[in-house]
Chains A and B, each alone.
Chain A
């Protein structure tokens, strides 16, 4: 005579069987996965480490770039602040000299002013150069900046610059 189990017990046994099957499947999966310390795990970790290192290098380069840009913006801010702090021409000249020395690191420079109703520039300020050499340097730099068709003599010509229409700013995007 077959002994019949009560329905609740049958269900419980079925559930137990299912659970055991699931456990066996999980055990198989775990066994098939690479174990810690195995060559597969090491290779995967190595690859992830390389990715992280590459990201770190890229971020460091970007940070250095941003720091450089911040430094330049800071210089620009300080220079424009000082230039706009006065209306006295002598003080503006002195500020330009300070900018050349302290922000640009110039050891030798010449500041040229256009003469009113003339075609030549005059040296307003020079540093690190003798007067004649300053004049020659100024003339040479003006020649370099002057289009060939306006070069008339060894003297720097400013007429072209005055007659040139201002270049418009590019549109904002």
Chain B
């Protein structure tokens, strides 16, 4: 299924703006740390996908994943990790924690679309 509502959890305003440009056809919800992301995820039950950064203040991406995957309702929402290159260990831990895919920065619209398209086809 093509995602219609996507939650972006990233502390970089630049990346939020980038997602707005790249994902014009979907509704975006914005959170700037893991804690705010979890609150939004709990409030909006119709979120189809989460784009998650790992290094964030207040609550990191890995902590976000741990909490989200422990909750039966939140665990259903697929999570894509967006990381900087060179943090393979963290990415591996993120995938083990329940993320279904990862994307390394810098990335372009085509790569993002390809990763999302792979989720659409089971």
A89 to B15, CA, bound (A): 20
B44 at the interface (CB under 8 A from A): no
Chain B, range 1-38, C-beta contacts under 8 Å to A:
12-15, 17-18, 21-22
Q: Are B110 and A78 in contact (CB under 8 A)?
A: no
A16 to B63, CA, bound (A): 94
Q: Are B17 and A78 in contact (CB under 8 A)?
A: yes
Chain B, range 69-118, C-beta contacts under 8 Å to A:
84-86, 105-106, 108-110
Chain A residue total in the interface (Cβ 8 A): 21
Q: Are A98 and B106 in contact (CB under 8 A)?
A: no
Q: How far is the CB of A127 from chain B (nearest CB, A)?
A: 11
A126 at the interface (CB under 8 A from B): no
Contact partner of A107 (CB less than 8 A), chosen from B12, B13, B17, B86, is: B86
A101 to B109, CA, bound (A): 17
Chain B residue total in the interface (Cβ 8 A): 16
Q: How far is the CB of B14 from chain A (nearest CB, A)?
A: 4
A71 to B106, CA, bound (A): 11
Query: A71: which B residues are within 8 A, CB to CB?
Result: 108-110
Q: Interface majority SS on A: helix, strand, loop or mixed? A: helix
Name which residue of chain B comes closest to A79, CB basis: B14
Query: B84: which A residues are within 8 A, CB to CB?
Result: 101-102, 105, 107
Contacts A78-B14, A79-B14: A102 and B109 contacting too (C-beta < 8 A)? no
A99 to B12, CA, bound (A): 10
Residue among B18, B21, B84 with the highest chain A CB neighbour number at 10 A: B18
A81 to B16, CA, bound (A): 12
Query: A82: which B residues are within 8 A, CB to CB?
Result: 13-14, 17
A82 to B19, CA, bound (A): 13
Q: Are B14 and A99 in contact (CB under 8 A)?
A: yes
The 3 closest A-B CB pairs, nearest first, are A71-B108, A98-B14, A105-B106
Given contacts A74-B18, A74-B22, A78-B17, 4 further A-B contacts (CB under 8 A): A74-B109, A95-B14, A103-B106, A105-B105
Query: Which B residues lie at the A interface, using CB under 8 A?
Result: 12-15, 17-18, 21-22, 84-86, 105-106, 108-110
Query: Which A residues lie at the B interface, using CB under 8 A?
Result: 67-68, 70-71, 74-75, 77-79, 81-82, 85, 95, 98-99, 101-105, 107
Sample 29 A-B pairs with CB under 8 A, ordered by A number.
A67-B110, A71-B109, A75-B106, A75-B108, A77-B21, A78-B14, A78-B21, A79-B14, A82-B13, A95-B13, A95-B14, A98-B13, A98-B14, A99-B14, A101-B12, A101-B105, A102-B12, A102-B14, A102-B15, A102-B18, A102-B84, A102-B105, A104-B106, A105-B84, A105-B85, A105-B106, A107-B84, A107-B85, A107-B86
